[in-house]
Amino acid sequence: MGNNTGERRPQKRMSPCHKYSFPLAMMLASSAPWSVIWTVILSFESIFIRFIVLFLLIFQEAWFMASKVRDFFLGLSAENIYFCAET
- The answer to whether residue 60 scores a pLDDT higher than 60 is yes
- The answer to whether residue 53 scores a pLDDT higher than 70 is yes
Domain locations along the chain: 16-86
Between 87 and 56, the more confident residue is 56
Q: Is the dihedral of CA 43, 44, 49, 50 positive or negative?
A: positive
For residue 79, the model assigns a pLDDT of 52
Between 70 and 36, the more confident residue is 70
pLDDT tens-digit map of 19-29: 444 444 444 55
For residue 74, the model assigns a pLDDT of 73
- The C-alpha atoms of residue 15 and residue 81 are separated, in whole angstroms, by 10
- The C-alpha atoms of residue 44 and residue 60 are separated, in whole angstroms, by 19
Residues 6+ apart with CB under 8 A from 17: 80, 83, 84, 87
The separation between the first and the last C-alpha atoms of the chain, rounded to the nearest angstrom, is 39
Percent of the chain scored above 90 by pLDDT?
Answer: 0
- The C-alpha atoms of residue 72 and residue 10 are separated, in whole angstroms, by 23
For residue 51, the model assigns a pLDDT of 83
- The C-alpha atoms of residue 16 and residue 81 are separated, in whole angstroms, by 9
